[in-house]
Structure formats: structure tokens, C-alpha cells
């Protein structure tokens, strides 16, 4: 398990420019791609918000990935 704080950022977009993949960019400049049960719209609503992410750390396609079990944004649980 990993617990980290950072800012939600988009990391991939569809052909219409809509964010379809998201990561948490940490304050020590790490970036973890997020695999979450939240919809793309729910994740997009968190862009640029400071969050605390808890989940299982994995490597996927050479990138650090978190299989999210919880996201806490400004003291409220969103996932």
C-alpha cells in the first residue's frame, strides 16, 4: 500500500481534447498514474485539486501506477 499527497493532473486525452487518464503529481515531483473506479468526469472535476491518494503501487508499461482504494480531497472522501 502507498499513501501520497499531490495534485491531480491529466496525462492522456482523446481526439476531442477531453482528459481520459489522470495521475497524481506529488510535491517531490513523482507522478503516479491512477487506476480508479471514478468516472472520467469525476476525475476531471479533481484536476488541480490537492488530494491524498491511497492504494496499491504497481508498475504498468514502465510507469508507476496506483490502483486507488481511496482519494481524499480537502478533507472529503471522493473515492
Name the pLDDT band for 8 (thresholds 50, 70, 90).
Answer: very high
* Domain encompassing residue 31: 2-77
Q: How far apart are CA 70 and CA 51, in angstroms?
A: 10
30 has a pLDDT exceeding 90: yes
Q: Look at residue 75 in the predicted model and tell me its pLDDT.
A: 74
Three cell numbers, residue 41: 468526469
Closest CA to 22 of 11, 31, 7, 30: 11
- Residue 28 backbone zone (phi > 0: left; psi -120 to 50: alpha; other: beta): alpha
Domain count within the chain: 1
Name the pLDDT band for 76 (thresholds 50, 70, 90).
Answer: confident
CATH number at residue 52: 2.40.50.140
In the DSSP assignment, the letter for residue 37 is S
Residue pLDDT, tens place only, 36-65: 999 999 999 999 999 999 999 999 989 999
Amino acid at each position: 500500500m502507498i499513501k501520497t499527497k499531490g495534485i491531480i493532473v491529466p496525462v492522456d486525452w482523446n481526439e476531442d481534447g477531453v482528459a481520459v487518464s489522470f495521475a497524481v503529481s506529488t510535491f517531490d515531483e513523482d507522478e503516479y498514474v491512477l487506476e480508479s473506479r471514478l468516472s472520467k468526469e469525476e476525475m476531471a472535476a479533481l484536476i488541480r485539486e490537492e488530494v491524498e491518494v491511497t492504494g496499491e503501487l504497481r508498475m504498468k508499461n514502465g510507469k508507476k501506477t496506483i490502483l486507488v482504494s481511496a482519494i481524499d480531497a480537502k478533507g472529503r472522501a471522493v473515492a
